[in-house]
Structure 1
Amino acid sequence: MRLPEFIRQHTDRIVDEWEQFARTITPASEYLDRAALRDHARTILLAAARDMTTTQTAGEQVAKARGEGPEKTPSLDQAGASHGELRHTEGFDLVQMTSEFRHLRACVIRLWVDSLETPDLNCFQDMIRFNEAIDEALAESTAAYAEQVNRSRDIFLAILGHDLRAPLQAVSMSTELLMRKTTLEGDALTCALNIKHGARHMAAMVSDLLELVRSRLGKRLPIEPAPMDLADAARAAIAEACAGNPECDPTLKVEGDTRGIWDAGRLDQLLQNLIGNALQHGSNPREVIVTLKGEADSVLLSVHNYGDPIPEEAVGTIFDPLVRSADEELGQPSTSLGLGLFIVKEVVTAHEGTIEVSSSEAAGTLFSVKLPRQI
């Protein structure tokens, strides 16, 4: 029996062996069900069988071995890429993921050879074509896995760099106020100047970090939910935002029960970014209003400010990473690299909530977040 037909007739048996091998890859496999362990094995096998039956000249075979041939098996490429992405999400490392293809190759050849009674020259050609197909799927899977690794790393670095800016600004502004309102001499003055220069140097390094990942970004943020009160988090976020801006005086309105089970650190990120965004783009830092309203199964959070409205064409992309506002594009000073609202969206998504934005010159700009009390 030719190899493509053998694969079609024994797909279930081969996939069963794939699953048994995948189950030995720990610790990632310990949390996966049968469907997840089997993943794209069937699709990869059937696509490989189809590829083996397509006509291929000697020149095309050489080109394909070099990765230069025409795309003949888009379904194989897609299945391989999807497998790589999912294995990264599920916690497999690159060596573990590629070992699945090694086992698949060995399994198919072993079972097929055992079934042959009188091998002929066609068998060698079938093996060559099968190896080509598996190598193609492996290459796509590895490339997709590597892309997910790079993407996750870049998102982490970008969020880290962005979130370092708020405390650095608070340190810098507090040092400036201390030096203006207090007469410092000797060691005290030296310490204050060192803090000032150190904060400035760290801010420059953070900017360099963000520039590094700016052109390469964005999966769901990891969270550690615990009981907390969103009103307490909002008061703390407002106090921190105002530490570096003496003119800011946001109004906090609280109605109903604002307690729930969320990740306090992530919600602090959300609040800091929404409040900071309103202060930065609002026409008056004293007219920013933060509203919390407890409902039966959720808590509503809104941040409102007046100022130039968000252009209608920009509303659809405002939560995308590294998107800047029109005034920032024109070169006006800003500390934003377009990550704040991206982080907000990621935090909301991680908590299975929703976020909406509306903006007009008359009504102002309103960000509305709905968070389930428990996820």
Structure 2
Amino acid sequence: MRLSEFIVLHVDRIVDEWELFAETITPAAELMDSAALRDHAKAILLAAARDMTMPQTPGEQAAKAKGEGPEKTPSLDQAGASHGELRHNVGFDLVQMTSEFRHLRACVIRLWVASLVSPDMAYFQDMIRFNEAIDEALAESTAAYAEQVNRSRDLFLAILGHDLRAPLQAVSMSTELLLRKTALEGDALACVTHIQRGTRHMTVMVSDLLELVRSRLGRSLPIEPAPMDMAEAAHAVIAEACAGNPESDPTLEVLGDVRGNWDPGRIAQLLQNLIGNALQHGSDKRDVTVTLKGEPDAVCLTVHNHGSPISEDAIATIFDPLVRSADEQLGQPSTSLGLGLFIVKEVVNAHQGTIEVSSNEEDGTRFTVVLPRKL
């Protein structure tokens, strides 16, 4: 009997063995009934059997063995993906889920071989086709499982970031109240100032984390455009940077009309991250230049600093989330989550602008942002 025929004829027996094996995967299986344990096993097997009866050329077989073939079995992929999602939801880990497919493969081959009376060369082809089908189902299950893991992680980070904002706001308001109501001096004033500065850093980090999670959950960065002056925003950000880093002294150059229709809060984020990045990685905190230049339909912003150049490999991924600089990898202290430039890119995209970076030993590092005046 051909393997596809054997699977269809004995599918319930095979699924019974699947269930017995799934019962041993504890503690997740302890709270699952028979239907949950059997899950999509029958659908996967029947879809695999159908796939095995479809004609396949040697070239298609070789491509499929490498995971490169365009041929897909929709019912098999759907059953595999649904199985991966459900196993994640009931608490199976990835190793436990993949072990089910290993057992299923071994069970089918064992039962089928035991039923054979006079093996035929065609049976070896059946085994190859069955293995291909199971591998396809496993790949879809694994992909769906991984997607659920990523989504669960992002939801956790979103909840964590949201819940952290309330205590941070309480700390910030308390320090503001102390500074207004109490005449603090010496060490007491220094301590409150440190708390205030640390709270600001943590607030920025939480905000960046939430923006990352929002993008991973498939939501674009929300903006509320309004008329504003980029020069005023830059002055405010530089003043704040100098308050937090007294040794810094960025230079601001304004050329022409730099007014436009942008989201003031997002533009402040963009400026804070670019200027903060230049101050952190520049060789001289007093040698950072911010230039605003008005063009007919856009405003060009550049932030320049001298220091160790960014390698070409690093430039290729510099706007990716959670990317750490060389200094951070070497253990240099940082208050960054590696999200600052990722947020900058998101803000630029939301405003339909462009951003470029150039860096070399002679000219230093320069970030150039061009934003249209109107969206």
Relative to the length of structure 2, the TM-score reads 0.59
CA distance in 2, matches of 1:98, 1:110: 19
Tell me the SS of whatever aligns to 2:13. helix
Letter in structure 1 aligned against 2:203: A
1:331 to 263, 271, 283: 263
Is 1:183 the equivalent of 2:183?
A: yes
Measured against aligned partners, the alpha-carbon deviations of 1:16-73 in whole angstroms (never above 9, x if no partner) come to: 0000000000000000000000000000000000000000000000111121212331
Is 1:195 the equivalent of 2:207?
A: no
CA distance in 2, matches of 1:44, 1:326: 48
Using the TM superposition, give the Cα deviation of residue 332 of structure 1 relative to its aligned residue in structure 2, in angstroms: 3.5
CA distance in 1, matches of 2:20, 2:127: 24
Relative to the length of structure 1, the TM-score reads 0.59
Using the TM superposition, give the Cα deviation of residue 333 of structure 1 relative to its aligned residue in structure 2, in angstroms: 2.5
Letter in structure 1 aligned against 2:106: A
CA distance in 2, matches of 1:323, 1:2: 55
**Stretches of 4+ moved more than 3 A in 1?**
321-330
Using the TM superposition, give the Cα deviation of residue 201 of structure 1 relative to its aligned residue in structure 2, in angstroms: 1.4
Using the TM superposition, give the Cα deviation of residue 326 of structure 1 relative to its aligned residue in structure 2, in angstroms: 4.2
Using the TM superposition, give the Cα deviation of residue 213 of structure 1 relative to its aligned residue in structure 2, in angstroms: 2.4
1:226-245 superposed matches below 5 A: none
Partner of 1:51: 51
Partner of 2:348: none
Using the TM superposition, give the Cα deviation of residue 166 of structure 1 relative to its aligned residue in structure 2, in angstroms: 2.2
1:252-331 superposed matches below 5 A: 324=222, 326=224, 330-331=262-263
State whether residues 80 and 138 of structure 2, in contact with CA within 8 Å, keep that contact through their aligned partners in structure 1: yes
Measured against aligned partners, the alpha-carbon deviations of 1:152-199 in whole angstroms (never above 9, x if no partner) come to: 111111221122122212211221122012111122212211210111
Using the TM superposition, give the Cα deviation of residue 95 of structure 1 relative to its aligned residue in structure 2, in angstroms: 0.4
Using the TM superposition, give the Cα deviation of residue 330 of structure 1 relative to its aligned residue in structure 2, in angstroms: 4.6
Distance 1:28 1:123, change over 3 A: same
Letter in structure 2 aligned against 1:331: D
Partner of 2:39: 39
CA distance in 2, matches of 1:71, 1:44: 17
Letter in structure 2 aligned against 1:333: G
CA distance in 2, matches of 1:181, 1:208: 32
Partner of 1:371: none
Using the TM superposition, give the Cα deviation of residue 323 of structure 1 relative to its aligned residue in structure 2, in angstroms: 6.8
Is 1:68 the equivalent of 2:75?
A: no
Letter in structure 1 aligned against 2:128: I
RMSD: 2.1
Partner of 2:209: 209
CA distance in 2, matches of 1:170, 1:130: 61
CA distance in 2, matches of 1:96, 1:322: 35
Judge which range, 132-141 or 172-181, deviates more: 172-181
CA distance in 1, matches of 2:221, 2:13: 49
CA distance in 2, matches of 1:172, 1:71: 58
Is 1:98 the equivalent of 2:98?
A: yes
CA distance in 2, matches of 1:322, 1:154: 15
Question: Gaps (5+ residues) in structure 2?
Answer: 227-260, 270-375
Partner of 1:10: 10
Larger radius of gyration between Structure 1 and Structure 2: 2
Partner of 1:118: 118
CA distance in 1, matches of 2:24, 2:225: 55
Letter in structure 1 aligned against 2:46: L
Tell me the SS of whatever aligns to 2:177. helix
Letter in structure 1 aligned against 2:172: S
State whether residues 211 and 221 of structure 2, in contact with CA within 8 Å, keep that contact through their aligned partners in structure 1: no
Partner of 2:239: none
Using the TM superposition, give the Cα deviation of residue 205 of structure 1 relative to its aligned residue in structure 2, in angstroms: 1.8
Using the TM superposition, give the Cα deviation of residue 6 of structure 1 relative to its aligned residue in structure 2, in angstroms: 0.3
Letter in structure 1 aligned against 2:222: R
Tell me the number of residue pairs that the alignment of Structure 1 and Structure 2 aligns.
Answer: 234
Measured against aligned partners, the alpha-carbon deviations of 1:109-156 in whole angstroms (never above 9, x if no partner) come to: 000000000001010000000000000000110111111111111111
Tell me the SS of whatever aligns to 1:80. helix
Judge which range, 192-201 or 134-143, deviates more: 192-201
Question: Gaps (5+ residues) in structure 1?
Answer: 219-320, 338-375
State whether residues 48 and 133 of structure 2, in contact with CA within 8 Å, keep that contact through their aligned partners in structure 1: yes
